[in-house]
Structure 1
Amino acid sequence: MAVSLTSRGTRRKSIERRGSRAGYAFVGAYTVMLVLFGLVPVGYALWMSVTNSAGQLVGIGNFTRVVSDYRFGPAFAHIGVFLVEWLVTLMVLVVVLALMLHARLRRASRGIRFLYYLPGAFAGAASVLLWLILLDPVASPVGRLLRAFGWTSANQVMSPGHLPVIFVVIAFWTGAGGWILIMYGALNGIPDEVLEAARIDGANVFQLAWHVQIPMLRRWIAYMLILAFAGGTQLFVEPQLVGAASGGQVSDSWSPNQLSYQFAFAAGDFNGAAAIAVYLLVISLGCAALVVFKARLFNKD
């Protein structure tokens, strides 16, 4: 019996060591990629933002120079409006659709989850090109609906005032499916005992969602908002292609990323472009920290 117990203990330790080595291998590979494609570019951008083209330190000179550019304020205002509309839409609709999928459509959930995720298979540029066709009253299969609003040309549909809403629709169609699946998985992780206890206490579907399920999704919603905010600040392909399709009706510096592109490749000012990138980094990190602390993302229950 003692030999058997010793043998079992040895096998268990061997399995644990193999598991540890596999874990270190995965973490190590991720760490290498993070350093090469995350920390090193960030460090290089920070260095570029405080130096000039000759490599001399200029302090905050690049930051003050790009802020004084007449395009800086409008670009950040545009992205601010887009982010507010995008994050509110994402948070509300993703949670509602995930709850509906979890509560009512379990038998058909596989097919519906596939349909939700399918738009995410399109590359960003291909997705925008598809929407450019849909938003053209002449070529769109829903052109009759667009003409009912008085829009007879693509330029009318894609006027500057409509752009935040258009970009929200494109972003939601492309990226919401993945988040719906994540929320659906989080809902499946809620113990059945908790849900059953709420039902026994008399909670209906809406009370169950509002008082039990959504609070237990708090961390997942916070995680979604952080990543969606970071991705939203990088808006580039959509305004770039819409601007080209509208014949220059949309500014080529509509978003901060486009403005950074103009600094770098139109004016040859890579230091100014780096300063804009650092502004975006600071804003993203600040908002992420706010969400983390407000949602108590890393607190232990």
Structure 2
Amino acid sequence: MSTNTIAAAAVAPKGRRRGGPPRRRPDRSQSIMGYTFSGGYGLLLLAFGVLPTLYAIFLAFTKNGSFVGFDNFVKVFGDYRFLPAVQHVAIYLVVWLVSLTLLVVLLALIVHAVRARWLSTSVRFLYYIPGALAGASSVMLWLFLLDPTVSPVSGVLNAMGLHTFVQTVSIDNLPIIFTVIAFWTGAGGWIVIMFGALNNISTEVMEAARIDGAGAVKTAWYIQIPLLRKWIAYMGIMSLAAGTQLFVEPRVLSQASKGVVPPDYSLNQLAYLYAFRQSDFNGSAAISLLLLVVAVALAAFFVFRGGLFDRE
């Protein structure tokens, strides 16, 4: 390196990178706006996320203000309703996450393969419409769909041997029913997200696959799905978090079926009964903390297995 080059590097502006354009510092107004938006979110997260979590941790390990160790957890584990609720939620999560992953990825690939732009846009819009309905509203709609006496799909229900609402919402059918309801309300948004991720795959990569003679199935299996891994992991984390909080659907069905669906079907329902029927907020907090720990552990599994934060 010559002396002139060294001297030029020594007197170069501080914000200039070697061999590239100078760095532009963010405008002060942009920085203020960024801190304003993130600060508002931070305050809401602190008020409605961090502080309630800390208070729940305090309640879970105390009784009447005194530290009791794991007594509240032992009491919850000994409750005859706890293990059935765990089993119900676990079965639902397995059915929900497996079906969501397979169907969302498959439908996103099909929509992405549609060449007619108007048709692809229309299908994505139709997929997304159910997501505009709130959870309680969608469950109310499904109350009519699940009743063979008034359902527009009563023929299908009768063909399955379901002739009354009570038969339809039996305990054995609930994981499938909750999966169908959750898929109907939430899968459309994930299909749109996966479609956007597929559009970000390099056209050169896709063109190279076609030149090599790869068909649609091989291209999807060896190129598109591996490149969707991070998005699939993200979908799994968010869907897992929502699935462990199962509450609205079984509660509404319990009220509609007059107790056929038990009021303690899910862990969230059991925590609700502890808090507002038994006035035992410490036991309710213990159940909530258990749900949090399990959800965080499973989310960590998705993060590391899915390479969510790996850099390409």
TM-score (norm 1): 0.93
Among 103, 125, 130, which residue is 1:93 paired with? 103
Distance in 1 of aligned mates of 2:33 and 2:195: 29
The 1:143/1:105 distance shift into structure 2, 3 A limit, reads farther
Alignment of 1:284-299 (within 5 A): 284-299=295-310
My pick for the range that moved more, 95-104 or 105-114, is 105-114
**1:245-275 Cα deviation digits (max 9, x unpaired):** 1121111100000000010001000000000
Structure 1 SS opposite 2:299: helix
Among 19, 22, 33, which residue is 2:30 paired with? 19
Contact 2:147 2:164 in 1 (8 A): yes
Structure 2 alignment gaps of length 5 or more: 1-12, 17-22
Distance in 1 of aligned mates of 2:33 and 2:217: 44
Among 58, 62, 66, which residue is 2:72 paired with? 62
Alignment of 1:117-136 (within 5 A): 117-136=128-147
The 1:105/1:77 distance shift into structure 2, 3 A limit, reads farther
Letter in 2 for 1:112: V
Q: Which has the larger radius of gyration?
A: 2
Alignment of 1:255-294 (within 5 A): 255-294=266-305
Among 144, 156, 170, which residue is 1:145 paired with? 156
CA shift for structure 1 position 65:
0.6
Distance in 2 of aligned mates of 1:280 and 1:50: 15
Letter in 2 for 1:32: L
Structure 2 SS opposite 1:235: coil
Among 24, 42, 51, which residue is 1:31 paired with? 42
The 1:196/1:172 distance shift into structure 2, 3 A limit, reads same
Contact 2:57 2:289 in 1 (8 A): yes
Structure 1 SS opposite 2:110: helix
CA shift for structure 1 position 40:
1.0
Distance in 1 of aligned mates of 2:205 and 2:78: 56
**1:117-140 Cα deviation digits (max 9, x unpaired):** 100111111101111100111010
Alpha carbon RMSD of aligned pairs, Å?
1.6
Contact 2:114 2:120 in 1 (8 A): no
Among 209, 212, 216, which residue is 2:220 paired with? 209
Equivalent pairs: percent with the same residue? 53
Structure 2 SS opposite 1:47: helix
TM-score (norm 2): 0.90
Letter in 2 for 1:286: A
Could you tell me which residue of structure 1 aligns to residue 204 of structure 2?
193
Letter in 2 for 1:46: I
Letter in 1 for 2:126: L
My pick for the range that moved more, 22-31 or 82-91, is 22-31
CA shift for structure 1 position 233:
0.4
CA shift for structure 1 position 143:
1.1
Could you tell me which residue of structure 2 aligns to residue 235 of structure 1?
246
Could you tell me which residue of structure 1 aligns to residue 7 of structure 2?
none
CA shift for structure 1 position 27:
2.0
The 1:128/1:105 distance shift into structure 2, 3 A limit, reads farther
Say whether residues 1:44 and 2:55 are aligned partners. yes
Distance in 1 of aligned mates of 2:68 and 2:262: 30
**1:29-86 Cα deviation digits (max 9, x unpaired):** 222221111111111111110111x211111110111010000000000000000000
Distance in 1 of aligned mates of 2:116 and 2:40: 37
Structure 1 alignment gaps of length 5 or more: 1-5
Distance in 2 of aligned mates of 1:106 and 1:196: 19
Structure 1 SS opposite 2:41: helix
